[in-house]
Structure 1
Amino acid sequence: MTMYAALLRGINVGGSKKVPMAELRTLLESLGYDSVATYLQSGNAVFGTDHGDEDSLAAELEQAIEKQFGFAVSVLVRDHAYLKAVREACPFPAAELEAKQLHVTYFSAPVDAERFATVDPAAFAPEEFRLGDREMYLYAPDGLGRSKLAVALSKPRLLKGVVATTRNWNTVVKLEELTGV
């Protein structure tokens, strides 16, 4: 059985798109998934299954969530091996930083540096970002809520054609741990 994390985008924020975690767990179990758990209220779930791949599982979850809750939610599904690789490849000294200073944005498809070429990194120092394949690492010393670089990187024109969802470093670590059982 492969363990996966489901990353739901934009739920339980500002009173809209409410998805109670207990109901999400029940939904995942009804789809036949094993070892179901949720983490926090911001749309993180883990589960195990022997069928499907990341994309087909994400599509299945999106359909089930829309049917159950009555609204569309983008879902990214990533397996344990990927989550572990993201954690290990962090280009910033994660052990030396507060979790609120380090974030990972997961993308639905690979992205390249050309997509973000219009963002001048020097204009946002000491904030920094580094791209992986389907992820971007963001160092924001004052936190994501105060990050001007995060705002610049999330412009719709830069994210056209991909779904993006961001998690702080504590969540990155916890999801990798929860899927590693």
Structure 2
Amino acid sequence: MTTYLAFLRAINLGAKRVFPKEDIRRVVEAAGFEGVKTHINTGNVRFDSRMRSRERIEQTLEQAFAADRGFEVPTIVYSAAEFREVARETRELAEANPGLARHYVYLLKDEPAASQTADIEARADDRGRMVVRGRAAHALLQPGYQDGAVDPLGAAKLLGVATNRNVNVIGTLAEKWAGA
């Protein structure tokens, strides 16, 4: 069995896309996954599976979520080993960039092509910059970046299917579920 972490996109943001963590756990278990755990109510799920294909796992979960909720729930899956690497890179970037106002990690369904990565990383100015590492894109935002702005660098639209978590959630989940 392999341990995976799944991140659900665009849930619990309003009255129409409600998906409580207890329901997420129930649906993941009903889809045949084991050792299911959730963390806070933003769509963070840990589970074990014999399936080896990330794409197949994502498809299985997305179908189960849509059947249960009646709306699509894009899902991004990482093995625990992959997520440990994301957490390591997150710590490395945080240490190399002291004084950031915010550090968000966008978890990507697919790794961007080299040209797409160049476009994303070109979105740098005095508010901050983006750094892409595989299937993770880091928004490194400087003080005064316009706190509260959802995408101050205009890079999120270039990422494809993605969801973000702050650096604290990445660290907590890596420790709690990925053995980092």
Structure 1 residue 148 corresponds to structure 2 residue 146 = no
Which position in structure 1 is the counterpart of 2:32?
32
The whole-number CA distance in structure 1 between the counterparts of 2:44 and 2:53 is 18
Hey, what does 2:171 align to over in structure 1? 173
Q: TM-score, normalised by structure 1?
A: 0.83
Residues in 2 aligned to 1:97 and 1:68: alpha-carbon distance in whole angstroms: 43
Which SS does the other structure have where 1:67 is aligned? helix
- What does the per-residue CA deviation read over 1:137-175, in whole Å, with 9 as the maximum and x for residues that have no partner? 1112347733521xx1023xx24xx31111111111122
Contact 1:113 1:131 in 2 (8 A): no
TM-score by length of 2: 0.84
Structure 2 partner of 1:125: 126
Secondary structure of residue in 2 paired with 1:15 = coil
Using a 3 Å threshold, how does the CA distance of structure 1 residues 74 and 95 change in structure 2: closer, same or farther? same
Q: Do the aligned partners of residues 66 and 118 (structure 1) sit closer, same or farther apart at CA in structure 2, a change above 3 Å counting? A: closer
Question: Residues 94 and 34 (structure 1 numbering): CA distance in 2 closer, same or farther, change over 3 Å?
Answer: farther
Whole-Å separation in 1 of the counterparts to 2:121 and 2:135: 18
CA–CA separation in structure 2 for the residues paired with 1:113 and 1:145: 30
- Size of the aligned set, in residue pairs, is 174
> Once the two structures are superposed, what CA deviation does each residue of 1:110-137 show, in whole Å capped at 9, x if it has no partner?
1145225377445x22412111111111
Identity %: 26
Q: What code does the residue aligned with 1:171 have?
A: V
Distance 1:95 1:131, change over 3 A: closer
**Residue segments in structure 1 that go unaligned for 5+ positions in a row:** none
- Equivalent residues of 2:84, 2:174 under 8 A apart: yes
Query: CA offsets per residue over residues 60-116 of structure 1, 9 Å max, x none?
Result: 000000111111110011111111111112352259868971111111111145225
Matched, 1:71 2:74: no
Structure 2: give runs of 5+ residues left out of the alignment.
none
Task: Output the CA distance in 2 between the equivalents of 1:99 and 1:50.
Answer: 40
Give the alignment's Cα RMSD to 1 decimal: 2.5
Q: What corresponds to 1:93 in structure 2?
A: 94
